[in-house]
C-alpha cells in the first residue's frame, strides 16, 4: 500500500519536476547560447555560408537557362541525327531572340565566358553576336540559321549547339567532370585527351606529397619530441621555445628563406660549388623536393607538439619495467614505448596531413611547375581563369577526399586513440 | 672482498651512491641477503632505500663498491640481463597489452615458445588468484587486481630474486593488509628471495624475515622484526618503528649493560644500549604498552593525566611525565580496569628491562612524514 501510494505521488511530482527542470534548463541554455552567439553569427556569416555558397557553384548552371530561356525551351526537342546535324530554324530563331534581350542587359558576355569553359574561344563569338543582333528584326529578317552562319562560321559548328543543349539545365555535373579530367558530351562522360588532363594527376600528387611530408615530419619530429619529453624542465622549456619559434615568424618569410637557401645561386649550391663537390648547381628549387623540404620545416611543430604531449604522459617506469622483465633497450622501445606513443603519432600525422593537403603558399613560392598542389590550381581557377564552378568542384572533391581518408584512418587507428594533448 | 662475494646470495659491499657528486645518498652500505630470505628496506623518504633497490635492479650504478648476486659482481651487467623480477610502485603494467600479454612479455623476450608461455602465464595467474582475467586490459582491473598481475608478472619467468618497490603504496588499508599476507604466502611457497622497499613500518613488521632500517643513507639497524621492535639499537629506530615514549636525561653512572639516568632530577634505571659514558646526554625509550599506571613496576615516577582518547580495545592516555607532555600510556579496556581522569595526578611505572638508554640525537621526524 505504502509503496503504491508513494509511486503515484512520485509520478505527479516527476511530471512537475521535469517541467520545472526543463524550464530552468531552458534559461541556462538560452544564456549559454547568448554567450556564444557573437562567435556563432560571425562564423556563420563569414565562413559557413560563403563556403556553402561557393560549393554550390560546383553544380550551378543557372546562367544558361536564365540567359537563353526560349532557346532552352526548344533545343531540348532537337535530337541530333548525326554529328553533323544542325538544329532546326526555330532553335536559331529563339537563340537570336534570347541574345537580343541579353545584349540589351549586357548579359550575353557572361554567358559567353560560361560557355567558354566548355568550348575555348566561344566567348568572342558571343561578343560579336551581341553587336550584330542589334540590327536584326525578328519579324522581317530570317531565316536566322543562314543569317547567323553568315555572321560567323562558328554558328555552323554542330558542337556549339550540342554543348548549349547539354548545358541547358539549372544544374550540371560538368564542373565535376572537368575536375576529374572528363568532359560532358552528348554520349555522357568522355575522358579528356591526355594532354589536357591535369587534375587527377594533381590530386594524386597532392596526396602523395602530403603523405611524404607527413612521414618526414614524423621521422624528424619523433626524436625531438622524445628529447623534449625526457629532458629536465629547464632544457625542455628552452627546446620547446625553439620548436615554437617558427610560429612567431611569418609564413612568407620562412618560405622565402628556403628560396634563399635552395635556389641555383643560393647558399647551398654556392657552398657546394665552392668546395668542389659539384660542378653545376643542383636543381633544388622549383620542384617537388623544394616543396617537401619547405613544408616539412613549416609543419614540423604540428607533429612535435601532439607527440610531446603524449610522450609526457608515458611513465618512464614502463620502459624500466620492460627492461627488468628482460627486454633490451630496442625491444623495450619497440614493444612498450612506441605503442604507447601511437596516439600522439596519430594526432600529429592527421594534423600535418590535413594541413599539407590544403597548402597553397609554400608550393606556390618554391614548387615551380612540378611541385605545385591542387590548391594552387584552385586558386588559379578562382583568381586567373575565373572559372569558379570548376574551383568549387575541385574544392569539394578535395574536401570529400580528406573526409574519406579521415574515415579510413578512424577505421584503422580509431579517433578515440588520438590525443592532441 | 672475495670472501664477502661468496658469502650470501645478494651482497652489497661498501656501496656508495651520489647523484650529483656533492651529496651522498647511500653511504658505505654493507648488506648480506641469504637465499630465500625476505628482507625489507624500511625508512623515511630520502633515506636511500629506493636508491639501493634501483642499484640492485641495475637502473642506477654505484659510485663506489660492488654488488654481488650469487657470487658474481653485477656492476657491469645491464638491467635486462640480471634476471631480477621487479614490482614497481604504480605497477607499471603496459596499458596497451592485455593481462596475459603483460605476463607473456618476459617469456617472449626470452624466446620461450608459445605453448610453454601460455602454460606459465596460466599458472602465474592462478597463483595470484587471477585465473580468467588474462583477456582484460590493465585499465579494466581494480587497484588490487592490478597489483596481483604486477606480482604475477615479476614471478612468471621464475626469477630467483624479486624486488618490490613500495608495491602496496597505492592501495587502501584493508586491501593493503590482505595483499601483505598474499605476498608473504607466495614468498613462503615459492621460496624466492625478496627485497622489499617500504616506508610503512607495519608492512615491514608483518612480512619480513629481516628489516634494514635506513636513515640518512645508512642502515641504522638490521634485525628481525621482533628484535627491531623490542630492542631498538638507536633513537631513530625506536622512534621510527612503533610508538615510543622518550625522555631526555644525563647518565649519572654506567655499569656495563645498565645505567642510571637523571631526568629532570629523577634517577631512573635503564638498559644501556647505545649511550655514552657518565655525564653524556641520552634518550630513554619506553614502549607505551610496557608502562603501567600505578606503582606496580620497578621505576615509579609521578604523572599528570592530560588527555584520554578512546580507541575501543584500549584507551590512549597522554600524560605529563618528567617534563615531557607527550608521554603516552595504553590502558587496556579490560574488565575492571581503572581508567584515570583528566588532570588527575597519578603515577606511572615500568620495568628496568623495558627502558632503553639510546643515543641522544633528537629525532624530530614524524613516522609518517612521507
Q: Is the pLDDT of residue B4 over 60?
A: no
Q: Report yes or no: B111 at the A interface, CB cutoff 8 Å.
A: no
Interface test with A, best of B55, B59, B89, B109 (most A CBs within 10 A): B109
Question: Which residue on chain B is closest to A329 by alpha carbon?
Answer: B80
CB pairs under 8 A between A and B: 67
**Least confident interval from A185-189, A303-307, B9-13:** A185-189
Q: Is the pLDDT of residue B7 over 80?
A: no
Q: Is the pLDDT of residue A380 over 80?
A: yes
CA–CA distances in Å: residue B57 to residues A304, A403, B17, B124: 33, 50, 14, 22
B236 membership: H or E segment, kind and range: helix B235-240
Nearest to B110 among A321, A326, A336 (CB): A326
Q: Which fold has domain B243-358?
A: OB fold (Dihydrolipoamide Acetyltransferase, E2P) (2.40.50)
**Least confident interval from A96-100, A231-235, B26-30, B365-369:** B365-369
Interface test with A, best of B60, B77, B80, B151 (most A CBs within 10 A): B80
Distance CA A131, CA A124 (A): 11
Question: Which residue on chain A is closest to B60 by alpha carbon?
Answer: A320
Contact: B85, A321; criterion CB under 8 Å: no
- Residue B278 pLDDT: 82
Domain spans, chain A: 63-168, 199-417
**Least confident interval from A1-5, A98-102, A357-361:** A1-5
Tell me the shortest Cα–Cα distance from B86 to chain A, in angstroms. Answer: 6
Which grid coordinates are listed for B164? 618490490
Contact: B106, A326; criterion CB under 8 Å: yes
| Better-scored residue on pLDDT, A352 or A147 | A352
pLDDT in tens, B101-127: 999 999 999 999 999 999 999 999 998
Q: What percent of chain A has pLDDT over 90?
A: 36
pLDDT in tens, B208-238: 999 999 998 889 999 999 999 988 888 889 8
Interface test with A, best of B81, B90, B96, B149 (most A CBs within 10 A): B96
Helix locations, B91-213, DSSP H: 99-108, 114-127, 143-155, 173-190, 201-207
- Residue A13 pLDDT: 79
Contact: B88, A331; criterion CB under 8 Å: no
Contact: A321, B92; criterion CB under 8 Å: yes
Q: Is A99 within 8 Å of A133 (Cβ atoms)?
A: yes
Q: Which residues of A touch B154 (CB under 8 A)?
A: 324
Contact: A324, B79; criterion CB under 8 Å: yes
| ipTM score assigned to the predicted complex | 0.82
pLDDT in tens, B42-54: 998 888 899 999 9
* Average pLDDT rounded to a whole number, residues A91-107: 89
Q: Is the pLDDT of residue A187 over 80?
A: no
What integer best gives the mean pLDDT of chain A?
88
pLDDT in tens, A110-142: 899 888 888 888 889 888 888 888 888 887 777
Residue B212 CB partners (closer than 8 Å, separation 6+): B31, B39, B40, B41, B42, B49, B219, B221, B222
Q: Is the pLDDT of residue B322 over 50?
A: yes
Q: Edge-to-edge, what's the strand order for the sheet holding B193-198?
A: B85-87, B161-165, B193-198, B38-42, B210-215, B218-223
Distance CA A320, CA B103 (A): 15
Listed by number, the residues of chain B in 47-76 with a beta carbon closer than 8 Å to a beta carbon of chain A are 57-59
Distance CA B225, CA B212 (A): 10
- Residue B1 pLDDT: 43
Interface test with B, best of A320, A321, A335 (most B CBs within 10 A): A321
Nearest to A340 among B83, B95, B157 (CB): B95
pLDDT in tens, A27-48: 888 888 999 999 999 999 999 9
- Residue A189 pLDDT: 85
Residue A225 CB partners (closer than 8 Å, separation 6+): A303, A304, A307, A308, A311, A344
Q: Is the pLDDT of residue A196 over 90?
A: no
Distance CA B151, CA B194 (A): 12
- Residue A9 pLDDT: 55
Q: Which residues of A touch B94 (CB under 8 A)?
A: 318, 321-322, 335-336, 340
- Among candidates A163, A147, A60, which has minimal Cα distance to A97? A147
Question: Which residue on chain B is closest to A315 by alpha carbon?
Answer: B92
Contact: B57, A324; criterion CB under 8 Å: yes
Question: Which residue on chain B is closest to A319 by alpha carbon?
Answer: B92
Q: Which CATH superfamily is domain A199-417 in?
A: MetI-like (1.10.3720.10)
Which grid coordinates are listed for A75? 533545343
Q: Is B65 within 8 Å of B5 (Cβ atoms)?
A: no
Q: Report yes or no: B109 at the A interface, CB cutoff 8 Å.
A: yes
Domain spans, chain B: 2-230, 243-358
Q: What percent of chain B has pLDDT over 90?
A: 44
Tell me the shortest Cα–Cα distance from A324 to chain B, in angstroms. Answer: 5
Confidence of residue A1 (pLDDT cuts 50, 70, 90): very low
* Average pLDDT rounded to a whole number, residues B347-369: 71
Q: What percent of chain B has pLDDT over 70?
A: 95
Tell me the shortest Cα–Cα distance from B262 to chain A, in angstroms. Answer: 53
Determine the distance from the C-alpha atom of residue A59 to the mean position of all C-alpha atoms in its chain, rounded to a whole number: 16
B111 DSSP β-pair partners: none
pLDDT in tens, A203-253: 999 999 999 999 999 999 999 999 999 998 899 999 999 988 888 888 889
Distance CA B219, CA B210 (A): 12
Question: Which residue on chain B is closest to A331 by alpha carbon?
Answer: B109
Q: Is the pLDDT of residue A391 over 60?
A: yes
Tell me the shortest Cα–Cα distance from A336 to chain B, in angstroms. Answer: 7
Q: Is the pLDDT of residue B308 over 80?
A: yes
- Residue A421 pLDDT: 52
**Least confident interval from A70-84, A230-244, A341-355, B87-101:** A70-84
Q: Which fold has domain B2-230?
A: Rossmann fold (3.40.50)
pLDDT in tens, A148-181: 888 888 888 888 888 888 888 889 888 999 899 9
- Residue A417 pLDDT: 63
Amino acid at each position: 500500500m505504502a509503496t503504491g501510494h508513494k509511486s503515484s505521488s512520485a509520478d505527479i511530482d516527476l511530471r512537475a519536476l521535469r517541467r520545472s527542470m526543463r524550464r530552468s534548463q531552458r534559461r541556462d541554455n538560452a544564456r549559454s547560447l547568448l554567450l556564444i552567439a557573437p562567435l556563432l553569427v560571425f562564423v556563420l556569416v563569414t565562413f559557413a555560408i560563403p563556403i556553402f555558397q561557393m560549393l554550390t557553384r560546383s553544380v550551378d548552371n543557372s546562367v544558361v537557362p536564365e540567359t537563353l530561356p526560349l532557346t532552352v525551351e526548344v533545343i531540348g526537342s532537337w535530337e541530333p541525327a548525326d554529328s553533323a546535324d544542325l538544329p532546326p530554324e526555330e532553335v536559331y530563331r529563339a537563340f537570336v531572340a534570347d541574345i537580343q534581350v541579353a545584349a540589351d542587359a549586357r548579359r550575353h558576355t557572361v554567358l559567353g565566358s560560361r560557355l567558354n569553359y566548355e568550348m575555348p574561344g566561344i566567348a568572342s563569338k558571343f561578343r560579336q553576336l551581341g553587336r550584330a543582333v542589334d540590327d536584326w528584326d525578328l519579324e522581317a529578317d530570317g531565316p536566322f540559321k543562314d543569317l547567323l552562319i553568315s555572321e560567323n562560321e562558328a554558328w555552323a559548328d554542330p558542337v556549339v549547339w550540342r554543348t548549349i543543349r547539354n548545358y541547358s539545365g539549372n544544374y550540371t555535373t560538368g564542373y565535376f567532370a572537368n575536375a576529374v579530367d572528363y568532359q560532358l558530351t552528348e554520349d555522357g562522360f568522355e575522358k579528356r585527351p591526355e594532354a589536357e588532363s591535369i587534375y587527377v594527376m594533381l590530386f594524386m600528387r597532392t596526396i602523395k606529397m602530403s603523405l611524404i611530408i607527413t612521414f618526414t615530419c614524423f621521422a624528424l619530429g619523433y626524436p625531438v619530441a622524445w628529447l623534449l619529453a625526457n629532458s629536465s624542465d629547464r632544457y625542455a622549456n628552452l627546446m620547446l621555445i625553439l620548436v615554437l619559434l617558427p610560429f612567431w615568424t611569418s609564413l612568407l618569410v620562412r618560405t622565402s628563406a628556403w628560396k634563399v637557401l635552395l635556389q641555383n645561386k643560393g647558399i647551398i649550391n654556392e657552398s657546394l660549388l665552392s668546395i668542389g663537390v659539384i660542378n653545376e648547381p643542383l636543381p633544388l628549387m622549383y620542384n617537388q623536393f623544394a616543396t617537401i623540404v619547405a613544408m616539412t620545416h613549416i609543419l614540423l611543430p604540428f607533429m612535435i607538439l601532439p607527440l610531446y604531449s603524449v610522450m609526457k604522459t608515458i611513465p618512464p617506469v614502463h620502459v624500466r619495467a620492460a627492461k627488468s622483465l628482460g627486454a633490451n633497450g630496442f625491444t623495450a622501445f619497440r614493444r612498450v614505448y612506441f605503442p604507447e606513443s601511437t596516439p600522439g603519432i596519430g594526432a600529429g600525422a592527421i594534423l600535418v596531413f590535413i594541413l599539407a593537403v590544403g597548402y597553397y603558399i609554400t608550393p606556390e613560392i618554391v614548387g615551380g611547375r612540378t611541385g605545385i598542389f591542387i590548391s594552387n590550381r584552385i586558386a588559379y581557377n578562382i583568381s586567373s581563369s575565373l572559372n569558379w564552378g570548376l574551383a568549387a568542384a575541385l574544392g569539394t572533391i578535395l574536401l570529400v577526399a580528406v573526409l574519406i581518408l579521415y574515415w579510413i584512418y578512424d577505421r584503422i587507428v580509431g579517433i578515440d586513440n588520438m590525443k592532441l594533448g | 672482498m672475495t670472501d664477502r662475494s661468496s658469502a650470501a646470495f645478494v651482497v652489497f659491499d661498501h656501496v656508495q651512491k651520489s647523484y650529483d657528486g656533492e651529496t651522498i645518498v647511500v653511504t658505505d652500505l654493507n648488506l648480506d641477503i641469504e637465499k630465500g630470505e625476505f628482507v625489507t628496506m624500511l625508512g623515511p623518504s630520502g633515506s636511500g632505500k629506493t636508491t639501493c633497490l634501483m642499484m640492485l635492479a641495475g637502473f642506477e650504478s654505484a659510485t663506489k663498491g660492488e654488488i654481488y648476486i650469487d657470487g658474481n659482481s653485477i656492476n657491469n651487467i645491464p638491467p635486462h640481463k640480471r634476471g631480477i623480477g621487479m614490482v614497481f610502485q604504480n605497477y607499471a603494467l603496459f596499458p596497451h597489452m592485455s593481462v596475459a600479454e603483460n605476463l607473456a612479455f618476459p617469456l617472449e623476450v626470452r624466446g620461450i615458445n608459445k605453448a610453454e608461455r601460455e602454460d606459465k602465464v596460466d599458472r602465474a595467474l592462478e597463483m595470484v588468484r587471477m585465473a580468467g582475467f588474462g583477456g582484460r586490459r590493465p585499465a579494466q582491473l581494480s587497484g588490487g587486481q592490478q597489483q596481483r598481475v604486477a606480482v604475477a608478472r615479476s614471478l612468471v619467468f621464475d626469477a630467483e630474486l624479486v624486488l618490490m618497490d613500495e608495491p602496496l603504496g597505492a592501495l587502501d588499508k584493508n586491501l593493503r593488509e590482505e595483499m601483505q599476507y598474499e605476498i608473504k604466502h607466495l614468498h613462503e611457497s615459492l621460496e624466492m628471495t625478496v627485497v622489499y622497499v617500504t616506508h610503512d613500518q607495519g608492512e615491514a613488521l608483518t612480512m619480513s624475515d629481516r628489516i634494514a632500517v635506513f636513515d640518512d643513507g645508512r642502515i641504522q639497524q638490521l634485525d628481525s622484526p621482533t628484535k627491531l621492535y623490542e630492542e631498538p639499537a638507536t633513537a631513530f629506530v625506536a622512534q621510527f618503528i612503533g610508538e615510543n615514549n622518550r625522555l631526555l636525561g644525563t647518565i649519572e653512572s654506567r655499569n656495563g649493560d645498565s645505567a642510571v639516568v637523571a631526568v629532570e632530577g629523577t634517577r631512573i634505571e635503564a638498559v644501556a644500549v647505545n649511550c655514552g659514558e657518565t655525564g653524556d646526554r641520552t634518550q630513554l625509550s619506553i614502549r607505551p604498552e610496557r608502562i603501567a599506571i600505578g606503582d606496580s613496576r620497578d621505576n615509579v615516577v609521578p604523572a599528570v593525566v592530560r588527555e584520554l582518547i578512546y580507541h575501543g580495545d584500549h584507551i590512549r592516555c597522554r600524560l605529563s611525565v618528567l617534563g615531557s607532555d607527550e608521554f603516552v600510556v595504553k590502558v587496556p579496556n579490560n574488565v575492571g580496569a581503572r581508567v584515570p581522569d583528566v588532570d588527575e595526578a597519578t603515577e606511572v611505572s615500568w620495568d628496568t628491562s623495558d627502558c632503553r638508554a639510546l643515543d641522544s640525537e633528537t629525532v624530530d621526524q614524524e613516522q609518517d612524514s612521507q
